[in-house]
Each structure stands twice: as C-alpha cells, then as structure tokens.
C-alpha cells in the first residue's frame, strides 16, 4: 500500500441510524466499484458498512487480489495473500483499517486510488475485504463469533492503449437438452473476454413460438467478465407451453456497441398436457370402436 498520497486523507465517518431492527448481520455496499484512472492522477471513493448485528462490532479492512476463473460458473477467484499480475493493491490508500460500530451505526469508509505516471494501461483488480468481530461486553458470553468476510470488488482501468476484446461464445440449454417435460427451461449464455480490461456485456433474449410470434423478452442486465476468462449467465424461461420454441440472444459486448447474436431451439411437451391428450385420444378411440360395433 502507498505510504504517501497526493490528496488529503479523511477518517471514517460514523452516522447513527436510529430504529434499525436487529438482523444479526451487517451490510456492505456497493458490492463493486468501477473506475477509470489516468496515469499520474488519483481519485477518491467510498463505501458504507451498516451494523445490524444487535451488538457493537470491531471492523477490520484488508486488501486482497482476485482474478478471473477457468470455471465459467465462478465469477472470481480470490488469491488469499498472493499477488496477481493485475494487482491494484499498491495503488490503494485506506486511511483507516480498524474501527468499531455500535448497533444501528453506519460507517462511510473513504479510500483513494492513485495511478503512478508510469502505470501500464489495462485492468487492475483488487478487493477491500471487510470482516467483523463482536466486542466483548460484561453481560455477553466469552464465546465470540467471527462474522463472514464481505468483499467490495474494485475494477479499475488504467487509461491508455487498452485492449477491449470479447465475444458471445455460445447459447445453450442446460446439459444440452432439446426436449423438456416441464415449463421451466434453463438457458445458459457464455461470454468470453480476451482483452486486458473487464467487460460488462448486456442484452436481451427473445423467445418465439413455432409460428415465429414473440412470447417473451428477457432483458439481461450487465454482468462483468474479467480478462482472459469466460463468464456464464444463466436465465430461466417460463410460461412456454406445448410446442417448438426458438430462443434468440442479442448480446452487446459492452464496448463500441458491438452486438453478437445466437440462438437455439427446443421442444416442450408438458407431462400433464401430454397425459390429458393421451387420455382424450384413448376415449375418442374407444368411442369410435363402440360405434363400429353397433353398425
């Protein structure tokens, strides 16, 4: 962490919030912060911590690197003390690493990011890790529980000659199925980032019936994908009935307004409707057989 910073450091601001109910937890937000920084400049940011635990807690802040995962279902991999090639830790200044909050208090935690003049263009990624330990009070048990760690992900782009390159890899049903007996269809959209900065692809999915009529449109809010990794987005199509359907994905890569398209088809045979149809056919067949005998 830098020991010198070119702007004034502010202390953590603590704000009382009367009337907050006891939830036995604490809230941290926002979950991620995205920013662009020019080499040789700095920017200030902040996040909040709200204590809803019902008791005073000591909060500790630390920095940890993370990177993209080789598993598309896993958004990030924390490195637990190891430093990544895209580490942001040396560019972050936290003026205060520990403080105590009583129940119903919120801390506004300031921090700064400084990009040295010679910083290489591209994405840098680290997280501020928040952990809490209940303070000991006379009436409390001596058994102190450790609260879960919560991360604030930092996505910082050092401006310059950066490489933004990504694409829609595939759209498929989960497990590659093309025939479904129920009306909940899991769809998986795989996006790949081959650049050196994070991307936020977004778009929509259109569902058409066998006659080409649109039966549903699902808006896909942006989801981040780290460099040199793939990220899977899963949605569930509901409300489709008997018949053949077409799913069309339109995915904006998150830069230069480039849009990739892909699609798949599947057939839905709801088991209830199939059974009803079979019973109806059996009844009609029986009626015809009886009529033939009477003739």
CATH number at residue 217: 2.60.40.3880
Say what the pLDDT of residue 138 is.
42
Q: Are 38 and 170 within one domain?
A: no
Cα torsion 93, 97, 99, 103: sign: positive
**76 within a domain of the structure (yes/no):** yes
CATH of the domain at 106: 2.60.40.10
Q: What pLDDT does residue 211 have? A: 93
Q: Which of 183, 119, 107 lies closest to 157, judged by CA?
A: 119
> Is 117 a domain residue?
yes
Please state, rounded to an integer, the average pLDDT across all residues of the chain.
88
8 Å CB contact between 263 and 246: yes
Same domain, 216 and 128: no
Are residue 129 and residue 182 in the same domain, yes or no?
Answer: no
Higher pLDDT, 146 or 81: 81
What was the pLDDT predicted at 280?
58
Q: How many Cβ atoms sit within 10 Å of the Cβ of residue 224? A: 18
Could you give the number of structural domains in the chain?
A: 2
Residue 7, in any domain of the structure: no
Q: Region 199-210: what's the mean pLDDT?
A: 96
* Burial status of residue 124 (CB atoms within 10 A of its CB: 0-12, 13-18, 19 or more): buried
Q: Which of 46, 192, 66 is nearest to 127 (CA)?
A: 66
For residue 249, give Cα distances in angstroms to 25, 45, 94, 172, 234. Answer: 39, 36, 42, 10, 12
Q: Quick one: average pLDDT of 36-50? A: 96
Which domain covers residue 121, as residue numbers? 13-158
Q: Look at residue 286 in the predicted model and tell me its pLDDT.
A: 65
State residue 72's pLDDT score. Answer: 85
- Among the ranges given (103-112, 153-162, 255-264, 286-295), the one the predictor scored with the smallest mean pLDDT: 286-295
- Residue 256's H or E segment, with its range, is none
Per-residue pLDDT for 3 more than 50? no
Is residue 105 exposed (0-12), middle (13-18) or buried (19+ Cβ within 10 Å)? buried
Is the predicted pLDDT of residue 266 greater than 90, yes or no? yes
> Are 134 and 211 in the same domain?
no
Verify that 17 and 92 share a domain, yes or no. Answer: yes
């Amino acid at each position: 962490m830098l020991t010198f910073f070119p702007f004034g450091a502010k202390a953590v601001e603590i704000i009382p919030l009367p009337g907050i109910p006891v939830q036995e937890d604490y809230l941290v937000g926002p979950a991620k912060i995205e920013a662009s920084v020019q080499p040789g400049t700095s920017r200030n940011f902040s996040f909040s911590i709200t204590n809803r635990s019902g008791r005073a807690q000591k909060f500790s802040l630390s920095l940890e690197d993370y990177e993209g995962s080789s598993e598309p279902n896993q958004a990030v991999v924390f490195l637990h003390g190891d430093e990544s090639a895209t580490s942001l830790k040396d560019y972050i200044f936290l003026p205060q690493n520990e403080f105590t909050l009583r129940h119903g208090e919120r801390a506004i935690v300031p921090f700064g990011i400084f990009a040295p003049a010679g910083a290489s263009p591209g994405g840098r990624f680290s997280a501020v890790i928040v952990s809490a330990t209940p303070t000991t009070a006379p009436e409390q048990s001596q058994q102190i529980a450790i609260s879960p760690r919560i991360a604030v992900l930092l996505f910082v782009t050092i401006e310059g000659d950066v490489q933004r390159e990504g694409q829609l890899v595939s759209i498929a049903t989960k497990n590659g199925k093309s025939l479904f007996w129920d009306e909940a269809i899991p769809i998986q959209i795989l996006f790949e980032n081959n650049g050196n900065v994070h991307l936020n692809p977004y778009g929509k999915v259109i569902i058409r019936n066998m006659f080409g009529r649109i039966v549903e449109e699902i808006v896909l809010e942006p989801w981040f994908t780290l460099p040199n990794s793939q990220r899977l987005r899963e949605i569930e199509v509901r409300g489709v009935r008997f018949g053949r359907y077409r799913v069309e994905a339109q995915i904006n890569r998150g830069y230069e307004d480039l849009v990739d398209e892909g699609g798949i088809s599947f057939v839905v045979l709801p088991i209830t409707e199939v059974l009803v149809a079979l019973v109806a056919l059996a009844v009609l067949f029986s009626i015809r057989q009886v009529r033939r005998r009477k003739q």
